[in-house]
Amino acid sequence: CGDRQMEVPLLFSLLCLQVIKCKAAVMWEANKPFSIEEVEVAPPKAHEVRIKIMATGICRSDDHVITGALVMPFPIILGHEAAGVVESVGQGVTSIKPGDKVIPLFVPQCGECDSCLSTKGNLCSKNDIATGAGLMPDGTTRFTCKGKAIHHFIGTSTFTEYTVVHESAVAKIDAAAPLEKVCLIGCGFSTGYGAAVQTAKVEPGSTCAVFGLGGVGLSVVMGCKAAGASRIIAVDINSDKFAKAKELGATDCVNPKDFKEPIHQVLIKMTGRGVDYSFEVIGRTETMAAALACCQYNYGVSVIVGVPPAAQNITFDPMLLFTGRTWKGSVFGGWKSKDSVPKLVADYLKKKFVLDPLITHTLPFTEINEGFDLLRTGK
């Protein structure tokens, strides 16, 4: 058109339309290892963002899909706890630009649905956790491998060098943030820490019990300490985890295997009346019921943080609730994701909390199967 100023933007827009070929860990079927494959990642459509993943954490929720405890369609690219750099954006994206550091959000924030507009909730109706469709909001996928369509995982899919997410499912973060650390704010840390300070609203001087001392459980411990809890009882069948729990704020550590009586009775005896707040961070129905039972009978609050197994129900004495206890659930720590993640990253940079103790191993992407072995063995 004779306007040389248009050449660079036009060239950039054409580059953004290119399909990217990269490596991804594809899960072809349940209970099988990941397969490192070359996949094709389509360009972002309108209101979508394509991200180069720089670091991704391994979460028990990913493993739940592999074992069938969390039902999702196969083949699929798992992963949901990550940080990266924006490679390109689709039409209509104005809040994020190429080069921005970002964290994908498995709980989006559309800003329009009832939960987003309410001060009481954070589980945006645009989430893919409940439906498990494994597709972008328009009902299609951006991943192809060996000519086959590959499903997304809860709107993120971070076990790949490049991914595509909806604009409502990505948060721009401070350019100074170390991505290999703050990737944990994409799930584990935020989920646990928020369960204590956001969902339960732990009070100064209160007593707490935390069932499960993985990365999320340790983050609950950190949240309870930050909220001023006077006693934090860490519960796990792996005593090797107790040292780190105490380092992060636990005052007592209990292994249920050391007692003949049920663990809820042990905790009631330890506290004299039950704890003010309990957190189940494992995803087992037995421990969910135990966490509820160990609460103070009238005003105790128990929070379910671990992903419940599919097709399982809980049987419990309704008197546990009749006397006044509160049973709550917490997804992503109750945070409004797009609003809160940048603030949490800023707080990390201000040294308001630590993340290093939550990182036990740093592995190359090709060793993802070894990473899951470490997860399953409690290491």
Residues forming the active site: 59, 61, 64, 80, 187
CA atoms within 13 A on the CB side of 342: 13
Q: Is the separation of the CB atoms in 357 and 247 below 8 Å?
A: yes
CA atoms within 13 A on the CB side of 94: 1
DSSP output for 9-60: HHHHHHHHTSPEEEEEEEE-STTS--EEEEEEEPPP-TTEEEEEEEEE---H
Q: Is the separation of the CB atoms in 130 and 71 below 8 Å?
A: no
Would you state the structure tokens that stand for residue 325, as one six-digit string?
């206890």
Element holding 369 (H helix, E strand)? helix 368-376
Alpha helices in 201-355 (DSSP H): 215-226, 242-247, 263-271, 285-293, 319-322, 337-349
Q: Is the separation of the CB atoms in 279 and 195 below 8 Å?
A: yes
Q: How far apart are the first and last CA of the chain?
A: 62
- Quick one: which of 44, 62, 56, 71 has its CA closest to 136? 44
